[in-house]
Structure 1
Amino acid sequence: MSQSQVPESTGATAYAITSEVQADMRVAKRGCDELLVETEFARKLARSRATGVPLRIKLGLDPTAPDIHLGHTVVLNKMRQLQDLGHTVIFLIGDFTSMIGDPSGRNTTRPPLTREQIESNAKTYYAQASLVLDPERTEIRYNSEWSDPLGARGMIQLASRYTVARMMERDDFTKRFKGGVPISVHEFLYPLMQGYDSVALKSDLELGGTDQKFNLLVGRELQKEYGQEPQCILTMPLLEGLDGVEKMSKSKNNYIGISDAPETMFGKIMSISDTLMWRYYELLSFRSLDEIAALRAQTEAGRNPRDAKVLLGLEIVGRFHSAAAADGALAAFEARFRDGAMPDDMPEVLVAGAPVGILKLLREAGLVASGAEAQRNIEQGGVRIDGARVEDKSLQLSAGSYVLQVGKRKFTRVTLS
Structure 2
Amino acid sequence: MKGFSMSAFPPVEDQLAVILRGTAQAETVVELRKKLEKSQQTGKPLRVKYGIDPTGFDVHLGHTVPLRKLRQFQELGHTAVLIIGTATAAVGDPSGRDDSRKGLDTEQINANAKTYLTQIAKVVDVSRAEVRQNGEWFDEFGFTKMLRLLGQMTVQRMLERDDFSKRVKSGTPIYLHECLYPLMQGHDSVEIHADVELGGTEQLFNLMVGRDLQRTAGQAPQICMTMPILRGTDGEKKMGKTAGNYIGLNEAVKDQFGKTMRIPDELMREWFTLLTDRKTEEIDQILAGHPGEAKKLLASDIVTFYHGADVAAAARVSFDDQSRKIDPDQIDEVKIPAAELADGGVGAVKLVVLAGFAKSNSEARKKVEEGAFNYGPDRAKPVDWKAIVPVTDGLVLRLGRKIVRVRVGS
TM-score bin, normalised by smaller chain: 0.7 to 0.9
What's 2:285 paired with? 297
Counterpart of 1:132, as a letter, is V
CA gap of 1:277–1:178, structure 2 versus 1, over 3 A, is closer
Equivalent position amino acid for 2:281 in 1: A
The equivalent of 2:158 in structure 1 is 167
Corresponding residue for residue 225 of structure 2: 234
**Residue 308 of structure 1 pairs with residue 294 of structure 2:** yes
Q: How far is the alpha carbon of 1:220 from its aligned partner?
A: 0.7
User: What is residue 151 of structure 1 aligned with on the other side?
Assistant: 142
Alignment of 1:10-409 (within 5 A): 20-287=11-278, 289=279, 292-294=280-282, 296-297=284-285, 300=288, 303-337=289-323, 340-341=324-325, 343=327, 347=332, 403-404=400-401
Gaps of at least 5 residues in structure 1 are: 1-14, 353-400, 405-410
Q: CA deviation at 1:298?
A: 5.8
Amino acid at match of 1:71: G
Distance in 1 between residues matched to 2:356 and 2:326, nearest whole Å: 17
2:190·2:213 contact (CA, 8 Å) conserved in 1?
yes
What TM-score does the superposition give when structure 2 sets the normalisation length? 0.76
Task: Return the alpha-carbon distance in structure 1 between the equivalents of residues 173 and 265 of structure 2.
Answer: 44
Distance in 2 between residues matched to 1:170 and 1:279, nearest whole Å: 26
Q: Which residue of 2 aligns with 1:391?
A: none
CA 1:19–1:261: 2 relative to 1, 3 Å: closer
Change in Cα spacing, 1:349 to 1:308, as seen in structure 2 (3 Å) is closer
8 Å CA contact 2:12, 2:33 repeated in 1: yes
Q: 8 Å contact 2:286–2:294 — kept in the other structure?
A: no
| Structure possessing the higher radius of gyration over alpha carbons | 2
1:359-389 C-alpha deviation (Å, 9 max, x unpaired): xxxxxxxxxxxxxxxxxxxxxxxxxxxxxxx
Aligned mates of 1:243, 1:402 — CA distance in 2: 19
- Looking at structure 2, the residues matched to 402 and 140 of structure 1 have their Cα atoms a distance apart, in angstroms, of 48
C-alpha contact (below 8 Å) 1:55/1:87 kept by paired residues: yes
Cα offset, 1:295, TM superposition: 5.1
Could you tell me whether the CA contact under 8 Å between 2:47 and 2:80 is conserved in 1? yes
Cα distance in 1 for partners of 2:287, 2:103 equals 48
The offset of 1:343, in angstroms, is 4.8
| Distance across 2 between alignment mates of 1:19 and 1:94 | 32
Q: More displaced, 215-224 or 145-154? A: 145-154
Cα separation, 2, equivalents of 1:114 and 1:243? 31
Aligned partners of 1:259 and 1:320 also within 8 Å:
no
In the TM superposition, what is the alpha-carbon distance from 1:232 to its structure 2 partner? 0.8
Cα distance in 1, alignment partners of residues 155 and 124 from structure 2: 37
Partner of 2:374: none
Work out whether residues 269 and 287 of structure 2, in 8 Å CA contact, stay in contact via their aligned partners in 1: no
Corresponding residue for residue 355 of structure 1: none
- Contact 1:349–1:412 under 8 Å retained in 2: no
Shift of 1:33: 1.1
3-state SS in 1 of match to 2:54: coil
TM-aligned CA deviation for residue 332 of structure 1: 0.8
> Letter of the aligned partner of 2:90 in structure 1?
M
* Rounded Cα–Cα distance in structure 1 between residues aligned with 2:205 and 2:156: 13
Whole-angstrom distance in 2 between the partners of 1:313 and 1:178 = 42
1:14-52, CA deviations, whole angstroms, 9 ceiling, x for partnerless residues? Answer: x9xx99211211211111111111100110011111111
Deviation at 1:333, TM superposition (A): 1.3
8 Å CA contact 1:100–1:190 kept in 2: the answer is: yes
Q: Which runs of 5+ in 2 are unaligned?
A: 1-5, 333-354, 360-397, 405-410
Q: Distance in 2 between matches of 1:284 and 1:244?
A: 15
Deviations 1:92-136 (A, max 9, x none): 011111112222222322111111100111111111111011122
Query: 2 CA distance for matches of 1:183 and 1:299?
Result: 44
2:377 matched to which residue of 1? none
Aligned to 2:350: none
| Residue aligned with 2:181, SS | helix
For 2:300 and 2:271, locate their aligned partners in 1 and report how far apart those are by CA, in whole Å: 13
The CA distance in 2 between the partners of 1:342 and 1:232, in whole Å, is 56
Report the count of equivalent residues. Answer: 336
Rounded Cα–Cα distance in structure 1 between residues aligned with 2:193 and 2:247: 35
Cα gap change, 1:52 to 1:252, in 2 (>3 Å): same
Question: What RMSD in Å do the two structures reach over aligned CA positions?
Answer: 2.6
Which secondary structure does the structure 2 equivalent of 1:245 belong to?
A: coil
Q: Percent identity, aligned pairs only?
A: 45
**Distance change (3 Å), C-alpha of 1:108 and 1:242:** closer
SS in 1 for 2:141: helix
TM-score, normalising length from structure 1?
Answer: 0.75
Give structure 1 regions of 4+ aligned residues with deviation exceeding 4 angstroms: 342-352
Q: Secondary structure at the match of 2:240?
A: coil
How much has 1:150 moved relative to structure 2?
2.1
